[in-house]
Amino acid sequence: MLLNRAVLLASPAANTVFTTVLTRGPVARPEIARITGLSSAAVTKAAKPMIEAGYLEELTRAERTVEGAGRPAHPLAVCADREFFVGVKVTADELIGVVTDLRAQVRAAHRVPVTDRGVDQVVAGIAALVREVSAAYSGRTHHIGVSVSGDVDRAGGRVRYSPFLGWRDVPLAELVGRATGSTVTVENDVKALTVAEQWFGEGVGTDSFALATVGVGIGCGLVVNGRLVAGGYGVAGEIGHIPVAAGDGPACHCGGRGCVEAIASEEAIVTRARRAADDPHLDMAGAIDRAHGGDAAVRAVFAEAGQAIGLGLAAMVNLMGPERVVVSGEGLAAYDLFEEQIRAAFTAQAFGAAARCPLVVRPLPWEEWARGAAAVGIQSLFTA
């Protein structure tokens, strides 16, 4: 079964045809030719061995094309059940696992708490979670994607630094591989989510787009000219560390001043809300309650956070020019408290035509982050 995967990488044309059907299918051969620039003959030639190996199927329903008097089209589709993938998102408190099919559709999900953040304990937890979540797919999952916040070296399979876990230079791919017997890809969690959007979400069909996440941190994944931006020194997409209030803003944990994250991260909001409400025990849920209850001082804290996020998004769009921005993250629980300010600040600061870039707001539960990790696994197996 694994050997057959070679047909997907047999030639650049084969690879292009497969990823086109994977991300856009079902799609008819003439449309594949149009999208890829390949000849119809080349598309047909590339598709044949993939159909034989069970990766692609020709849909039997003879769809009618819109133009042309009922010429039957036989769109190609990926056989979703041909392979299954496990994705695991590691947070400081929980491990979230999913099994997806080849089209990155979630087929099973499971969560376990993290009680000890030590490397060995987390690796053992991941292995147990993988067994549990993939029980119904026994022997049919060969690859695991793991996503972690922080500085991750995907090519080397290492977590270089993860502040929330307190990890430095952990060879996570190797450790999880040994504990599970599967091959493993490790990626930064925001980049993994960006890959899922690039291949299976809002990014499909665009040359460039951005995904910004709002929550414990403020992060951003960027796709430019069809490829994820990795950063020459492993740093990219740090929208949280754009200094939108360098003059009079608060100090940031990064050493800078007036960063978006120093104003709009969950910790920053809670700190400022405690001061505003004069309540040192207030937590995020309490701050949201107070704001919803009409507390003007706490509402102003959320409004300032929204303004900082909107300015950060505008700075990013002015620099990168994405066709579309997805805004997501666990911080969206409070989205009604700062959406207006996000949009107003973005519109005021976006330069000229960049203001036309749509902000698509979408809550993503943790399972979607785990799906992102699985999507990185799919991508790493099926691109040359």
Can you give the binding site for a second copy, defined by CB under 8 A? 151, 161, 206-208, 220, 222, 224-225, 227, 229-239, 241-249, 254-258, 307, 311, 314-324, 345, 348-349, 351-354, 356-357
DSSP states of 169-227: EE-HHHHHHHHHSSEEEEEEHHHHHHHHHHHHSTTTT-S-EEEEEESSSEEEEEEETTE
What values do phi and psi take at 37, rounded to 5?
80, 5
Q: Is the omega angle on the peptide bond into residue 243 within 30 degrees of 0, that is, cis?
A: no
| C-alpha closest to that of 372 among 216, 219, 207, 167 | 219
CA pair distance 85, 102, nearest whole angstrom: 7
Q: Is the dihedral of CA 329, 335, 338, 339 positive or negative?
A: positive
Nearer to a second copy, 298 or 345 (CB): 345
Closest CB 257 distance from a second copy, rounded Å: 8
Nearer to a second copy, 98 or 220 (CB): 220
Nearer to a second copy, 235 or 285 (CB): 235
Closest CB 17 distance from a second copy, rounded Å: 18
DSSP states of 23-76: HH-SB-HHHHHHHH---HHHHHHHHHHHHHTTSEEE--S-EEPSSSSS-EE--E
Closest CB 140 distance from a second copy, rounded Å: 35
| C-alpha closest to that of 159 among 131, 181, 192 | 192
Nearer to a second copy, 133 or 222 (CB): 222
Q: Which helix (H) or strand (E) holds 85?
A: strand 84-90
Nearer to a second copy, 65 or 351 (CB): 351
Residue 90 has a CB neighbour count (10 Å cut-off) of 31
Nearer to a second copy, 10 or 124 (CB): 10
Nearer to a second copy, 158 or 241 (CB): 241
Closest CB 256 distance from a second copy, rounded Å: 4
Residue 134 CA to its chain's centroid (Å): 21
Closest CB 354 distance from a second copy, rounded Å: 4
Nearer to a second copy, 152 or 282 (CB): 152
Give the tokens for residue 365: 């539960």
In order of 2, 55, 83, 108, 184, the CA distances from 7 in angstroms are 10, 9, 14, 28, 21
Closest CB 86 distance from a second copy, rounded Å: 29
Closest CB 244 distance from a second copy, rounded Å: 5
Closest CB 210 distance from a second copy, rounded Å: 9
